[in-house]
Amino acid sequence: MKDKSKRKSRPRTKVGVYICHCGGNISDHVDVEAVCERAARLPGVTRARTNMFMCSDPGQELIIEDLKEGGVDRVVVASCAPSLHEETFRNALCRAGVNPYLYEHANIREQVSWVHHGEAATEKAGRLIAAAVAKAAGLKPLDPIRVDAKRHATVIGGGIAGLKAAKDLAERGIEVALIERSPFLGGRTAALDTLSPTGEKAADLLCAMADEVLAHPAVTVHCNTELTGFEGYIGNFKLQAARKAPDMEMDAQPHGNTSGTALAHGTFVPFRGIVPEKSENSEGEFTIETGVVVIATGFQPYRPRQGEYGFVEFEQVVTLSQFIRMLAENDSDGDTLRVDGKEIKNIAMIHCVGSRQIPGIHEEDEHGNLNEYCSRTCCGATLHAAKRVREKFPGTRVYEFYRDIRTYGRGQEELYTQAAKNKVVFLRFEADSPPVVSQSPGNAVSPLTVSVADTLTFGENVEVPADLVVLATGMEPADVSGLVDMMKLPVGSDRFLLEVHPKLRPVELSVSGIVLAGTCQAPMDAGEAAAAASAAAVKASAILARGYVELDPFIAEVDPDKCTGTGACVEACLREGALELVETEIGGKKVRRARVSPVLCMGCGACVAVCPENAIDIRGWTLDQYEAMVDMIAS
């Protein structure tokens, strides 16, 4: 560590410290008033205040008033994690007419009150605030990095979310390229007959939306296309894409069509999707220059393991999506459902197949994954299907085996009520005692028997005859590992793409300029996916609206007088192109020096750590500031 006496002298600053009670989240474990008194005695501190909620309007006004009066010229807020409200307080500085980067944040909730108690919590909070004050004293005004932004968006995925995002963006005057790897538009929604709970035809909804997208002059659709390359930064991405020639004879046959005749463009193929009439179809590679990217890659349905509830072992065991197709294509007369000419008198529907899996109870997949989350849409879809069966085929009995019924959303709970009124029989099981599907004796009325310990009858063992067993399979994230590796996208523990914050930045990824739409982020129904797509479109259009974007200035900065061109920084750099060695002339000699690309630098500091000459620093996070923080913590 540097000798303190050799550290550069700093001009006197006036630091204001603002400590949040966080409604008791902090003050229940930290003596906030004692910490405030301690902060007031720190060198350079001219104001020390507390508030129940610093992020509230009254809390922000405390800061703004002190700045406008000239009582402070640097601000430290001690509250929850900076990921929640750092931007909030920077904006408060802007409203006071002060550079937003003269601000430092001390996290005394997640790092203190949530993990410490009593005197230890108070002591640690005081030291973290002292460190933040030391850093704040060394802050300098910074300007954001401004880069031009191309008024163009690329949407990856042609399902309901991708179509909705493309439509909304185009209506805001932004050119859009829509990339879909299959020959069809519509995604998984096209595999449905009707939507729960309204009963609206999925084909009607998708065709109307696709017609608007395809007719819009600002949208270019690329089917049979996959992304093969990605480079650039927010506002200026360059995408490499490869388009294969469509094989309509193979890919676009409706169920049962064996004529070998290709379908005309613009038609809807049941359970496959829409063959777009206006689409770029020439084979080959091409480049897209774009300002933002919307990821709308959707989900894939869980496929049960062989033997799971008799799947594959018994031909009478099908998934819910297969059963929905059976219902849609069924032309049975009479009051009993018939499938492949066989009368179906009893249907057993089993919930939570591939969702809400529990370690130690459920079996992991081949990659060691468990789907511990709720897929949210399965209960409503299962009840919707049961209701349709009972209304159209009253002679067919329906039994639903469930752990919990989760019918969230408007109109969904009514499905449960209607199903019960239509005499659907409900049997509840515990996670560790799931139903068992077995073959019935030869003289039985149905080929299969479903046995369960029914908790609604206090654990009584119930055996139900079944001509058909329907497994309500959940949602899994689509395989987008190629995009994840290519774009460095964050993935959550559930393997869905991970947003920055579910409430404050719900559709943004940590990679600036890339946003999420629909079920690539989490299980959603069609309505939610469309709403999420609209949110993504709003965020994307906001990024491009001004024709430029502003990036935080926390980037590496090279001191050319100290740099000797060793290249250690380039080797350590985590972002290709962010650092490079360039030839320059100094004192009549050609030498190599490190040069930073501001728009590519992530400000991670890897280069700072390896430079033997200490020739690199991070703006807003300099080595001097770190040393001042450590000195204050240790004092």
Give the total residue count for the chain: 635
Query: For residue 542, which phi and psi values (nearest 5 degrees)?
Result: -65, -35
Same topology between domain 152-298+478-549 and domain 303-466: yes
Structure tokens at 56: 């509230």
Is the CB of residue 299 less than 8 Å from the CB of residue 246?
no
Which residues, other chains included, contact 11 with Cβ-Cβ below 8 Å and sequence gap of 6+? none
CATH class of 12-143: alpha beta
Per-10-residue mean pLDDT of the chain, 635 residues long, equals 50 92 96 97 96 96 97 97 92 97 97 95 97 96 95 98 98 97 95 93 94 95 95 95 73 39 68 84 90 98 96 97 94 88 96 96 93 96 96 96 93 92 97 96 92 96 97 96 95 96 91 96 96 98 94 94 94 92 87 93 94 95 94 91
Q: What is the pLDDT of residue 10?
A: 57
Q: List strands edge to edge, sheet with 74-79.
A: 45-51, 15-20, 74-79, 103-107
CATH 1.10.287 fits 303-466, yes or no: no
- DSSP annotation of 112 reads I
Task: Give, in degrees to the nearest 5, the angle at Cα 82 between 80 and 83.
Answer: 110
Entry pTM:
0.88
Query: For residue 28, which of 125, 129, 155 has the smallest C-alpha distance?
Result: 125
User: What CATH fold (topology level) applies to the domain 555-618?
Assistant: Alpha-Beta Plaits (3.30.70)
When computed from its CA atoms, the radius of gyration of the chain, rounded to whole angstroms, is 30
Q: What is the pLDDT of residue 237?
A: 96
Q: Three-state SS for 17? A: strand
Q: What is the pLDDT of residue 259?
A: 34
Give one DSSP letter per residue of 43-65, joined into a string.
Answer: TTEEEEEEES-TTSHHHHHHHHH
Which residues, other chains included, contact 568 with Cβ-Cβ below 8 Å and sequence gap of 6+? 607, 610, 611, 612
Q: Per-residue b/e over 526-557, b at no fewer than 16 CB within 10 Å?
A: bebbbbbbbbbbbbbbebbeeeebebbbbbbb
Identify any residues that bridge with 582 across adjacent strands, giving them in sequence order: 593
Q: Spell out the domain ranges in the chain.
A: 12-143, 152-298+478-549, 303-466, 555-618
Task: Give, in degrees to the nearest 5, the angle at Cα 270 between 477 and 243.
Answer: 60
Is the CB of residue 47 less than 8 Å from the CB of residue 39?
no
Q: Three-state SS for 6? A: helix
Which residues, other chains included, contact 22 with Cβ-Cβ below 8 Å and sequence gap of 6+? 53, 79, 80, 109, 113
CATH 3.50.50.60 fits 152-298+478-549, yes or no: yes
Q: What is the pLDDT of residue 8?
A: 53
- DSSP annotation of 530 reads H
Name the amino acid, one letter, at 299: F
Query: For residue 487, which of 295, 222, 299 has the smallest C-alpha distance?
Result: 295
Query: For residue 63, which of 53, 77, 44 has the smallest C-alpha distance?
Result: 77
Which residues, other chains included, contact 560 with Cβ-Cβ below 8 Å and sequence gap of 6+? 584, 586, 593, 615
